[in-house]
Amino acid sequence: MNAVEVRNLSKSFEDVKAVDKISFVVKKGEMFGFLGPNGAGKTTTINMLTGLARPDQGSIRVHGKDYLKNLKTIKQSIGVVPDESNLYPELSGLENLCFCAALYGMKKAERTAKAWELLEQFGLKEAAFRKFGAYSKGMKRKLTIAAGIIHDPEILFLDEPTTGIDVASARQIRMLIARLHETGKTVFLTTHYIEEAERLCERIAFIVSGRIVRIDTMENLLQPMQEEHLAEIICTRGEKQAVDLLGKEFKDLVFNNTGRNAGRSFSRDKEAGEEHVRVKSGEPIPVGRLVRFLEENGIQVIEARLLRSSLEDVFVRITGIEAKELLKVTETKRHGKKKKAGGGT
């Protein structure tokens, strides 16, 4: 049986088509990823799946049952972790968890035991009696996840669980999610981090402007990239372009200049006096020989490395959206939002 079945789901806000006739299934016990840029319609989809928004059209079935007719039973069996923490700032971590458990009808002894168990599991035991409002962002997100699973739901909806928090907490959270999935829970995860989707999800839907442009297993998505070998060489700019020299010497390889750092490290932008060369081939690339050749021709190599084909390449190929753009858009949008809200936190 499928955990979630969605058919032709649509939702508009005034003139914006937030979600446009999407259909997909989430299999039981699966980790399903919804990957797309900011404003793609990820949150709107989650809201419709969890009863916070009414679809304009389309049908939703959860565990084979019609969604609207069985709302109360279905609500009991799903857990939701929203993109922003929605717990009570004036209550302590422990109180928040116990309160959430009570919303699902758990008895007092059961609530307290489960709350402590989760605080322990999420590394928040020391902060149990501290007010939620005084938690760091990472702690807040962790407690929000704990609150979302305290009633032991069968399906867990996670809306951008690692957005806007520090790297260490994000790693911890990814590990916690992976562990939850191992215990057999169905997980529906939205994200705009390609790497996160690649690392965690078994199947992925690419969503852009309210539409699903591709939906497949990670294996199938990466399949066409398996035969392709990639490398990147960063060198000093000489009198002659490295890319031309290499092209003349190694005729069976394809060389390109890249405008940005290829691969998935966005840490380093191209600096003046540098040339970035991307190498493509159907065979393994002899990077050592390329480096030696360049240095013999008076071009100093700063960095040379093999690249693994990744989901990013697939994503860029299918959606035409560069991963770097994806992140950029998101960050500026978030800043804009914060300013508008008057820096409430």
Partner 1 sequence: MSQWTAFFNILAKDVHAYYLKPPNISWGLLFPLAWTGMFFIKSGQGLEDVLGLLPGVVALSILFGTTSMLAVTVTFEKKNRSFERLLLSPISLELLMLAKTGGAIIFGLANAFVPVIMASFLTDLSSIAWGSFFMAVLLIAIASAFLGLFIAVAVSEVFEAQTFSNFFRFPMVFLCGLFFPIAKLPVFLRPLSYALPLTYGVDVLHGSVQSTNIMPMYLDLVVLAGFCILLFAGSLHNIKRKWIM
Which x/- pattern, by CB under 6 A, does the window 291-320 give for ligand ADP? ------------------------------
Verify binding: residue 18, ligand ADP, rule CB under 6 A. Answer: yes
Q: Which H/E stretch holds residue 21? A: strand 16-27
Q: Which H/E stretch holds residue 339? A: helix 323-340
Question: Going by DSSP bridges, is the β-strand pair 155-159/78-81 parallel, antiparallel, or unpaired?
Answer: parallel
Task: Find the part of the chain contacting ligand ADP (CB under 6 A) among 39-47, 216-224, 235-243, 302-310.
Answer: 39-47
Verify binding: residue 43, ligand ADP, rule CB under 6 A. Answer: yes
> What minimum distance in Å lies between the beta carbon of 22 and ligand ADP?
12
By rule CB under 8 A, what count of residues binds partner 1? 29
Virtual CA dihedral for 42, 47, 49, 53, nearest 10 degrees?
-130
Of 202, 143, 129, 195, give the one whose Cα is nearest residue 173: 143
> What minimum distance in Å lies between the beta carbon of 8 and ligand ADP?
17
Distance CA 105, CA 81 (A): 19
Distance CA 195, CA 179 (A): 18
117 binds, options ligand ADP, Mg ion, partner 1, none, Cβ within 5 to 8 A by partner type: none
Between residue 26 and residue 45, which ones bind Mg ion under the rule CB under 5 A? 42-43
Report the residue number, 102 or 287, with the smaller CB distance to partner 1. 102
Distance CA 196, CA 319 (A): 18
User: What distances in angstroms separate CA 305 from CA 232, 265, 273, 312, one per listed residue?
Assistant: 6, 12, 19, 17
Among 9, 31, 33, 42, binds ligand ADP (CB under 6 A): 42
Verify binding: residue 340, partner 1, rule CB under 8 A. Answer: no
Residues that bind ligand ADP in the complex, under the rule CB under 6 A: 13, 16, 18, 36, 38-44
Binding site for partner 1 (CB under 8 A): 13, 47, 50-54, 72-73, 75-76, 80, 82, 84, 86-91, 99-100, 102-107, 147
